[in-house]
Amino acid sequence: MISEISQRYARALHEVAQAKGSADRVFGELRVLADVYDQNKDIQDFLLSPLINPEQKIKALEGALRAKVSDELLSTLKVMAEKNRLSQFAEVSKAFEAISDEAHGVTRGVVRSATPVSADEQKRIEETVTKVTKKKVILTYEVDPTLLGGMVTQVGGWTFDDSLKSHLTKLSDELNRRAN
């Protein structure tokens, strides 16, 4: 669940970026920064440390990011540092992604399958889900060893369960219904 504070920062950043025509660029920059942030514990420790004052964090952000990211994003990060909100960075990034997706008519989802899904099958799944949701779909694929066979796709509020377990449950229910 994304906090209201993170939602507010993301909405403000998106509105400013949209007004300047740089929303897609900011989205790309946010994704890169979020990946770097997630993968580097030293950066996390520095930015989240209560022992380092906001001014030092702002100077570090400016030194590291000036001319590498948009002014809109750098300004947002500086405000977050000033307000001791850098702990919300990952959530702001996710909230911005959701706002951007909504603006572009995109929805994201996850396909869990018992075995890896081939490229042809991925294309077929994406086409099917796009028809049902009437949105452009971006799916990630995960192998789930707890599934005996088949797959489960979760997109927005939709769940498409084509797993072996669901088929066996339906068969069992049908047999019980006929037996009674």
Region 87-95: mean pLDDT is 94
Bridge partners, residue 136, by sequence: 106
Residue 173: is its pLDDT beyond 90? no
Among the three residues 102, 119, 152, which one is the final residue of a domain in this structure?
Answer: 102
Looking at the structure, do residues 82 and 65 belong to the same domain, yes or no?
yes
Looking at the structure, do residues 129 and 64 belong to the same domain, yes or no?
no
Looking at the structure, do residues 98 and 47 belong to the same domain, yes or no?
yes
Looking at the structure, do residues 68 and 129 belong to the same domain, yes or no?
no
Count the domains in the chain: 2
Looking at the structure, do residues 52 and 110 belong to the same domain, yes or no?
no
Among the three residues 102, 132, 161, which one is the final residue of a domain in this structure?
Answer: 102
Rounded CA-CA distance 57/45 in Å is 11
For 118-150, give the DSSP string: PHHHHHHHHHHHHHHHTSEEEEEEEE-TT-SSE
Rounded CA-CA distance 132/144 in Å is 24
Among the three residues 73, 102, 131, which one is the final residue of a domain in this structure?
Answer: 102
Give residue-wise pLDDT tens across range 30-69.
Answer: 999 999 999 999 999 999 999 999 999 999 999 999 999 9
Greater model confidence, 172 or 20: 20
Looking at the structure, do residues 19 and 91 belong to the same domain, yes or no?
yes
Please, are residues 38 and 90 in contact by the beta-carbon 8 Å criterion?
yes
Looking at the structure, do residues 94 and 9 belong to the same domain, yes or no?
yes
> Looking up tokens 């993968």, which residue turns up?
39
Give residue-wise pLDDT tens across range 113-172.
Answer: 999 999 999 999 999 888 888 889 999 999 998 888 889 999 877 888 888 888 788 888
Looking at the structure, do residues 78 and 110 belong to the same domain, yes or no?
no
Residue 95: is its pLDDT beyond 90? yes
Rounded CA-CA distance 12/54 in Å is 21
Region 97-122: mean pLDDT is 92
A 10 A CB-CB count for 29 gives 20
Residues 6+ apart with CB under 8 A from 41: none
Rounded CA-CA distance 4/120 in Å is 40
Instruction: Look up the domain containing 66 and give its range.
Output: 4-102
Looking at the structure, do residues 110 and 166 belong to the same domain, yes or no?
yes
pTM, full prediction: 0.74
Rounded CA-CA distance 144/15 in Å is 38
